[in-house]
Structure 1
Amino acid sequence: MDLGLKKRIVLVTGGSKGIGKEIARAFVEEGAQVAIAARGLSALEETSNALGGIPFYQGDLTIKAERERIFQKLIDDFGTIDVLVNNVGGSNGSSVEETDLEQFEQAMALNYYSTLHFSKMALEVMKKRQRGAILNITSIFGRESGGKVSYNNSKAAVISFTKALADEAIPYGVRVNGIAPGAILHPTGNWQKRLEADPEGIKAYVKREIPAGRFGKPEEVANVAVFLASEKASWVTGATLQVDGGQSRANF
């Protein structure tokens, strides 16, 4: 299916590996002009080469000035932005009692404030053109307990922000949506490390917690991302879609 994304300018944060890399790949395969941003130079270079030499921007996305520099470089290079995918993120800490305040602040800076800031910058450009799509990659644990508390809190904030921004942006032709993945297995992710450390325990977890009976794949998230960014999803805004093989216990 042609999703009408040819030549669209796309920025994927956290696009050097895992889910972000596959999202970038999916947009490239649709004919979009894709750039990726992340902290690690070697992973950025590897992904850029794997995807045909796409542009990349290195920087610490928890830092306001770095986000502004990267976004301005994208505009300088491409002139505009059509699709923003806020994918950068991570988890830290453990229980509330055992997680330092600084770790909560770090989680919010990485998962929430980066999404908030990039979205504000992109919306300013998109409003002028009366079109655009912003996608926020969250988690099923933004809706329910199950992951690390600092991660849950920050992803819950992103889900709430997605709906709030969507209602503000849609009068200008800009759609804002989210994707809430469940457990996704990829070589650089936490689930891979846990699987290697405790194969039988993780196999039991999958059987017990995921009705589909397996981990999700990054490309299964990417397929939803390109759909939501396309005009095929023209009447979808403010939604956060679960992509989890039935893992979430939420019924709304």
Structure 2
Amino acid sequence: MDSEHFSPYRPDGKLYGFVCVVTGATQPVGKAIVTELAAHGAACIYACSTHPDEPYADLASTVNVAYPNTKVIGYPYKTTSEEDTLALIDDVLNSWGRLDVWTSSTGLLGPPSITSTGPKDLYAAFEANSMPAFFALKYAPAAMEKTTKKGSYANAAPKDVPYGSIIIVSSVAGTYGGCWGPAFTMSSHAALGVVRSGVAVLKGTGVRINAITAGQIDVGVDLKGAKMKEMEQGQFPPSTLQSQEAQKRVIGLERAGRPEEVGRVAGFLASGFSSYITGAELRVDGGASVMNPLTVPV
């Protein structure tokens, strides 16, 4: 990290020159992460999601209005595919010669109860919630170790030292039970296992890996308007699972979180401000996990 080009105090932005990948980029939390990285000077952000019909163009145009020197590239690929992950990394290196940040923001809630959970549901949850993190750990570091001269594109900077930050966005279900259904809890634990095992894997590479475990995040899903099958496809349990009264009682900050509050933590972990943090779990839950169970003095 002994390089002026990776100083978090750079006046042109703490991520100036960085080339980033964000999966799940068209979902509320993913959009917030893309915006946060652009706000701090990233040169390029691959905004990735599985479905080719996602609104990639809308996301890119919205971000580029505010941050015109950050190139946002909508990139559909199957996040659970090893071949697609390798193809994406090849594309990034061939186009930019560097890779600095990989944020895996994928998720699948699955069924809410054990009675409605079958083996296929469990396999699907592990594939969606932990496989993208595994592929990021296995394949992104070699690309992040590559150095390169300054390019001829906007917000370009040379990369003169190996550097990389892998950020796995998961749920507090990875640290305790009782959050939605068992498949979600089991697979979230596996995602956190990728982060913890990654520290030894990454020794000597200059690459860090950390997790963001989110609590109740208001991603705009309303229990009244969503069908159960649609809800099972979501990334996080709807914040409306808890009434405002319950949120005030069991969440330290007395409210659900917002996607941009997760995005800010991703920006911190992407930058040199977190240079001595790896293998960590940064819990973004408003203090709920240390409030439960809430004991009221008699």
Q: Same fold (TM over 0.5)?
A: yes
Partner Cα separation in structure 1 for residue 208 and residue 242 of structure 2:
41
Matching residue of 1:225: 266
C-alpha offsets along residues 80-138 of structure 1, whole Å, 9 cap, x if unaligned?
21011011222111223320111111111111011101221101222345321111111
Q: Does 1:106 align with 2:147?
A: no
1:232 is displaced (CA, Å) by 1.1
Q: Does 1:215 align with 2:227?
A: no
Task: Name the SS of the counterpart of 2:195 in structure 1.
Answer: helix
My pick for the range that moved more, 216-225 or 48-57, is 48-57
Partner Cα separation in structure 1 for residue 211 and residue 242 of structure 2:
31
Structure whose alpha-carbon radius of gyration is higher: 2
Matching residue of 2:145: 127
AA at the equivalent of 1:101: P
Of Structure 1 and Structure 2, which has the larger fraction of its residues in helix? 1
Q: How does 1:48-197 map to 2 (within 5 A)?
A: 48-52=60-64, 54-129=72-147, 130-145=162-177, 146-187=179-220, 192-194=221-223
Partner Cα separation in structure 1 for residue 240 and residue 277 of structure 2:
39
**Structure 1 residues 235 and 250 mapped into 2: Cα distance closer, same or farther (>3 Å)?**
farther
Matching residue of 1:36: 47
Kindly indicate whether the alpha-carbon contact (under 8 Å) linking 1:127 and 1:172 is maintained by their aligned counterparts in 2.
yes
Kindly indicate whether the alpha-carbon contact (under 8 Å) linking 2:21 and 2:47 is maintained by their aligned counterparts in 1.
yes
Partner Cα separation in structure 1 for residue 203 and residue 275 of structure 2:
10
Kindly indicate whether the alpha-carbon contact (under 8 Å) linking 2:166 and 2:209 is maintained by their aligned counterparts in 1.
yes
1:39 is displaced (CA, Å) by 2.2
**Structure 1 residues 200 and 26 mapped into 2: Cα distance closer, same or farther (>3 Å)?**
closer
Count residues in correspondence.
Answer: 247
1:196 is displaced (CA, Å) by 5.7
Kindly indicate whether the alpha-carbon contact (under 8 Å) linking 1:84 and 1:119 is maintained by their aligned counterparts in 2.
no
Partner Cα separation in structure 2 for residue 79 and residue 213 of structure 1:
45
C-alpha offsets along residues 45-104 of structure 1, whole Å, 9 cap, x if unaligned?
221221116101112222333333333222232222101101122211122332011111
Partner Cα separation in structure 1 for residue 88 and residue 115 of structure 2:
36
Structure 2 length normalisation: TM-score? 0.76
Task: Name the SS of the counterpart of 1:55 in structure 2.
Answer: strand
Partner Cα separation in structure 1 for residue 96 and residue 225 of structure 2:
42
Task: Name the SS of the counterpart of 1:54 in structure 2.
Answer: strand
Partner Cα separation in structure 1 for residue 194 and residue 80 of structure 2:
18
Matching residue of 1:9: 19
**Structure 1 residues 178 and 201 mapped into 2: Cα distance closer, same or farther (>3 Å)?**
closer
Matching residue of 2:296: none
The RMSD of aligned alpha carbons is 2.3
My pick for the range that moved more, 224-233 or 69-78, is 69-78
Q: What runs of 5+ residues in structure 2 fail to find an aligned partner?
A: 1-8, 65-70, 148-161, 227-238, 293-298
Q: What runs of 5+ residues in structure 1 fail to find an aligned partner?
A: none
Kindly indicate whether the alpha-carbon contact (under 8 Å) linking 2:174 and 2:192 is maintained by their aligned counterparts in 1.
yes
Task: Name the SS of the counterpart of 2:98 in structure 1.
Answer: coil
Task: Name the SS of the counterpart of 2:135 in structure 1.
Answer: helix
Partner Cα separation in structure 1 for residue 94 and residue 171 of structure 2:
32
Kindly indicate whether the alpha-carbon contact (under 8 Å) linking 1:17 and 1:43 is maintained by their aligned counterparts in 2.
no
Structure 1 length normalisation: TM-score? 0.89
**Structure 1 residues 231 and 65 mapped into 2: Cα distance closer, same or farther (>3 Å)?**
same
Matching residue of 1:45: 57
**Structure 1 residues 215 and 196 mapped into 2: Cα distance closer, same or farther (>3 Å)?**
farther
% identity of equivalent residues:
26
